[in-house]
């Protein structure tokens, strides 16, 4: 399992590398892109994922000490928390579609300030408009460079979400097996290994969260 | 892979690590709203690395793993470091970046 995780480190490493180079090159556009993300949802999601790592670790512990019902309980909790994470991610993706921030023909960084929703604070919109004006002065082609940020945002969070979906599938299988009482102190390698995978996916998010959400918040 | 003479980490340690991770998340969100100039990214990645280290050492039991497993983990970090360091040093030593941010206008006209 660890050898597989090494390949995963380098797989995600390539994306982080692409991100770093482009963040360096298009510093302003990436800051603008990052500030459009919902920091409240992002922070909640980080907490949810860390909690799911705790329940996964507790499932491993329950298997090691032979508490069969606890194994099932903690696995179900982990699956539930993973699903909550994906659900919040869907809400965030929907916001990006609504704000025309998905790379493609209708992409427009100005859309949100030009079409504010009723719930938006006019002050925030004014601040954002001012920031966009300033950003355009330093980077005239901000539309295409902000698209680059969002391409990376969707690629990186999408790949992470795909790993979560695979993890959820593996958890379903673990839950099925644990309901049959398969996992004992003598035989718990599947719980242990899928646990390693789940924690790895958590680590990827631990790096994604500050790099995508937090890079330019100090206004 | 897990061997069965394995060390069992107690729930107390797991909960302690969980609280430390939540604390780290709160700290990194707080730090993001402060302006430390060039150190912003250092703080953000420093806290993330501390959190990741806690996850690897305790949730993933690396601290109690056999030497062989620990070697694999160190190799992963080392290879990642090679990839990042060599590629970034390549980019740093290329032509002035202005040429790419503002391509010559003639390119657009043709």
Q: Residue A204, SS3?
A: helix
Q: Which of A200, A151, A211, A176 is nearest to A20 (CA)?
A: A211
| Residue A166: inside a domain | yes
Query: E strand or H helix at A96, and its extent?
Result: helix A68-98
Asked if residue B37 and residue B4 are part of one domain, the reply reads: yes
Phi, psi of A109, rounded to the nearest 5 degrees: -65, -20
Task: Mark the ranges of chain A whose per-residue pLDDT is less than 70.
Answer: 219
Put simply, the chain B residues between 7 and 36 with a CB less than 8 A from any chain A CB are: 8-11, 14-15, 17-18, 21-22, 25, 28-29, 32-35
Burial (CB count <10 Å: 0-12, 13-18, 19+), residue B44: buried
Q: Write the DSSP symbol of residue A208.
A: H
In a domain, A158, yes or no: yes
Judged by CB atoms closer than 8 Å, whether chains meet at B80 and A64 is answered as no
Structure tokens at A209: 């969260």
Residue A108 three-state SS = coil
The reply to whether B13 and B40 lie within a common domain is yes
Distance to chain B for A165, nearest Cα, Å: 20
Examine the domain organization and report whether B33 and B71 are in the same domain: no
More confident residue, B20 or A143: B20
Task: Find out whether A218 and B35 touch, Cβ atoms under 8 Å.
Answer: yes
Better pLDDT: B110 or A138: A138
Whether B55 and B27 share a structural domain? yes
Q: Same domain for B56 and B102? A: no
CATH code: domain of residue A93: 1.20.120.80
* Cα B26 from Cα B89, distance rounded (Å): 33
| pLDDT greater at residue B101 or residue A183 | A183
Residue A128 lies in a domain: yes
Distance CA B106, CA A41 (A): 45
What single-letter DSSP state applies at residue B63?
A: G
- A219 located within any domain: no
**Count of domains in chain A?**
1
Separation between Cα atoms, residue B64 and residue A37, nearest integer Å = 39
Query: Do residues B47 and B97 both lie within one domain?
Result: no
Contact A53 B8 (CB under 8 A): no
B71 and B57 in one domain? no
Same domain? For B82 and B56 the reply is no
Contact yes or no for A142/A32 (Cβ under 8 A): yes
Domain range for B59 is 1-65
Q: Report pLDDT for A121.
A: 82
Contact A64 B34 (CB under 8 A): no
User: Encoding tokens for residue B104?
Assistant: 């010559």
Ramachandran bin of A15, using left for φ above 0, alpha for ψ from -120 to 50, beta for the remaining angles: alpha
Å from A104 to nearest chain B CA?
A: 21
Tell me the two tokens of residue A10.
């380098």
Summarize pLDDT for B28-86 with one digit per residue, the tens.
Answer: 999 999 988 888 889 999 999 999 999 999 999 999 999 999 999 999 999 999 999 99
Question: Whole domain around residue A68: which residue ranges?
Answer: 2-213
Strand, helix or coil for residue A188: coil
Q: Are the Cβ atoms of A210 and B60 closer than 8 angstroms?
A: no
Summary mean pLDDT of chain B: 84
Q: How many CB atoms lie within 10 A of CB B30?
A: 10
Do B22 and B11 share a structural domain? yes
Residues contacting residue B22 through CB under 8 Å, at least 6 positions apart:
A47, A50
Q: B31, B47, B65 — which closes off a domain?
A: B65
Structural contact between residues A41 and A91, judged by C-beta atoms closer than 8 angstroms: yes
Provide, as residue numbers in chain B, all residues whose Cβ is less than 8 Å from the Cβ of A200. 60
Mutate to test the interface with A, among B5, B41, B60, B88 (most CBs of A within 10 A): B60
Count of domains forming chain B: 2
Question: Using an 8 Å Cβ cutoff, are A88 and B36 in contact?
Answer: no
Whether B61 and B76 share a structural domain: no
Element (H, E) at B46: helix B40-54
Cα dihedral value B101, B102, B104, B108, nearest 10: 90
A201 located within any domain: yes
Question: Is residue A50 situated within a structural domain?
Answer: yes
Local confidence band at B105 (pLDDT 50, 70, 90 cut-offs): low
Q: Is residue A218 part of a domain?
A: no
Model-level ipTM above the cut of 0.85: yes
């Amino acid at each position: 399992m660890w050898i597989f995780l090494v390949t995963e480190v380098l797989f995600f490493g390539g994306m982080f590398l692409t991100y770093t180079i482009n963040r360096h090159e298009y510093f302003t556009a990436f800051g603008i892109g990052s500030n459009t993300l919902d920091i409240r949802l992002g922070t909640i999601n980080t907490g949810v994922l860390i909690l799911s790592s705790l329940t996964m670790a507790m499932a491993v512990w329950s298997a090691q000490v032979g508490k069969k019902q606890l194994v099932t309980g903690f696995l179900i909790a982990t699956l539930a928390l993973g699903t909550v994470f994906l659900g919040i991610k869907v809400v965030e993706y929907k916001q990006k579609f609504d704000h025309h921030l998905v790379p493609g023909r209708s992409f427009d960084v100005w859309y949100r300030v030009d079409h504010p929703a009723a719930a938006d604070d006019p002050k925030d919109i004014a601040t954002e408009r001012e920031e966009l004006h300033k950003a355009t002065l330093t980077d005239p082609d901000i539309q295409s460079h902000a698209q680059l940020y969002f391409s990376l945002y969707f690629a990186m969070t999408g790949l992470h979400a795909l790993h979560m979906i695979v993890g959820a599938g593996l958890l379903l299988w673990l839950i099925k097996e644990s309901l049959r009482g398969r996992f004992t102190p003598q035989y718990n390698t599947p719980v242990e290994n899928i646990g390693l995978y789940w924690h790895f996916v958590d680590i990827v998010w631990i790096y994604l969260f500050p790099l995508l959400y937090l890079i330019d918040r100090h206004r | 892979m897990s061997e069965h003479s394995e060390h069992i980490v107690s729930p107390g340690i797991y909960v302690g690590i969980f609280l430390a991770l939540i604390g780290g998340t709160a700290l990194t969100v707080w730090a993001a709203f402060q302006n430390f100039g060039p150190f912003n990214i250092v703080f953000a990645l420093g806290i993330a690395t501390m959190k990741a280290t806690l996850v690897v050492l305790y949730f993933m039991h690396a601290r109690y793993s056999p030497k062989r497993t620990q070697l694999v983990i160190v190799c992963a970090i080392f290879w990642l470091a090679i990839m990042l360091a060599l590629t970034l040093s390549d980019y740093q030593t290329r032509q002035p970046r202005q040429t790419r941010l503002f391509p010559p206008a003639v390119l657009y006209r043709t």
